[in-house]
């Protein structure tokens, strides 16, 4: 039995309730974050909370807590679950309203914070890498449902993940309407080229500006690895020397096969392994103290 924060109260997971008229349930009308804590410290908490409030601002939700209040409630949720290593999911919906799409007269926002464990990939996958397929489901157009907003509507990603599952692959990659590779279903994507450059798709293509993505860019530059944010197609991905995905839950996972094409020599490369090691060290030495 876990403890969940719901609208100012800490309740058991069995007692936590959200109205069937909540717009987050009815329309995906809300925002969220995925955050990790390592050894009693919440990694990149300020960046995640800033992004949560930016997402809410973009869809005209006024979160009824200051950022400092939100951070303390998040830390308290971790403490009440007696966790040191955890995955935290803060959620903010527009709140409760009757049936109907009009959003402007909903009640006050619903705020939920969940702290639990998560394990997306096995240790073997981190050691040997994963496979992916480029989904026929394209990434949402930024002028329709902007992927920069971490909204509760993840049907786009769920459909792409189903394509990967049905194809026997571990992950799905999105293309945008112009055919450029954008990101994975829930992770950012990097390739390392024969020219010794680390490239990740720019956010204007439809990629989320990931917190882990930014951390990896900083790590690579500290190591003297040139980093570019520029568009590339499947051809560049297939012919990369190395490739990997980044995300809060996934951390850094090597990508060794896409659409049946082996990336590099089919094993996690040196650059990928070095960045993985540096990222693990970073998570051990920084973060918002919980205890």
- Joined together, the tokens standing for residue 124 give 């073997």
Q: How confident is the model at residue 209 (pLDDT cuts 50, 70, 90)?
A: very high
- Joined together, the tokens standing for residue 256 give 């060794």
Listed by start position, the domains of the chain span 3-116, 123-284
Tens-digit pLDDT profile for residues 142-151:
888 888 999 9
pLDDT surpasses 80 at 88? yes
97 as an active site residue: the answer is no
For residues 55 and 34, give the distance between their C-alpha atoms in angstroms, rounded to a whole number.
13
Q: How confident is the model at residue 234 (pLDDT cuts 50, 70, 90)?
A: very high
According to the model, what pLDDT value does residue 106 have? Answer: 77
According to the model, what pLDDT value does residue 235 have? Answer: 98
Q: Which helix (H) or strand (E) covers residue 90, if one does?
A: strand 86-93
pLDDT surpasses 90 at 169? yes
- Joined together, the tokens standing for residue 121 give 């990939």
For residues 30 and 152, give the distance between their C-alpha atoms in angstroms, rounded to a whole number.
5
Tens-digit pLDDT profile for residues 107-143:
899 999 999 998 889 999 999 999 999 999 999 988 8
Catalytic residue among 44, 150, 161, 257: 150
**C-alpha neighbours within 13 Å on the C-beta side of residue 202:** 7
According to the model, what pLDDT value does residue 291 have? Answer: 94
Q: How confident is the model at residue 236 (pLDDT cuts 50, 70, 90)?
A: very high
Q: Which helix (H) or strand (E) covers residue 72, if one does?
A: helix 67-80
According to the model, what pLDDT value does residue 237 have? Answer: 98
CATH 3.20.10.10 fits 123-284, yes or no: yes
Q: Which helix (H) or strand (E) covers residue 82, if one does?
A: none
For residues 266 and 34, give the distance between their C-alpha atoms in angstroms, rounded to a whole number.
30
CATH of domain 3-116: 3.30.470.10
Asked if residue 12 lies in contact with residue 4, where contact means CB atoms within 8 angstroms, the answer is yes
The pTM of the full predicted model, rounded to 2 decimals, is 0.94
């Amino acid at each position: 039995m876990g403890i969940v924060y719901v609208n100012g109260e800490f309740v058991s997971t069995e007692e936590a309730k959200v109205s069937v008229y909540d717009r987050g349930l009815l329309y995906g009308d809300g925002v969220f974050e995925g955050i990790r804590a390592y050894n009693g410290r919440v990694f990149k908490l300020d960046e995640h909370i800033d992004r949560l409030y930016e997402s809410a601002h973009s869809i005209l939700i006024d979160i009824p807590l200051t950022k400092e209040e939100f951070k303390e409630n998040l830390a308290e949720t971790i403490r009440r679950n007696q966790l040191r290593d955890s995955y935290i999911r803060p959620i903010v919906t527009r709140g409760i309203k009757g049936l109907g799409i009009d959003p402007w007269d909903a009640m006050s926002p619903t705020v939920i914070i969940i702290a639990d464990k998560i394990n997306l990939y096995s240790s073997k996958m981190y050691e040997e890498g994963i496979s992916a397929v480029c989904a026929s489901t394209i990434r949402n157009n930024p002028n329709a449902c902007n992927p920069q907003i971490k909204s509760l509507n993840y049907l786009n990603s769920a459909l792409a993940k189903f394509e990967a599952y049905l194809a026997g692959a571990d992950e799905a990659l999105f293309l945008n309407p112009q055919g450029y590779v954008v990101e994975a279903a829930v992770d950012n994507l990097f390739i390392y080229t024969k020219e010794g450059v680390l490239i990740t798709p720019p956010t204007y293509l439809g990629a989320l500006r990931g917190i882990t993505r930014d951390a990896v860019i900083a790590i690579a530059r500290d190591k003297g690895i040139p980093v570019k944010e520029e568009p590339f197609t499947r051809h560049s991905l297939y012919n990369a020397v190395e490739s990997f995905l980044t995300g809060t839950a996934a951390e850094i996972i090597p990508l060794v096969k896409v659409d049946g094409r082996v990336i590099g020599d089919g094993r996690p490369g040196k650059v990928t392994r070095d960045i993985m090691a540096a990222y693990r060290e970073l998570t051990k030495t920084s973060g918002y103290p919980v205890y």
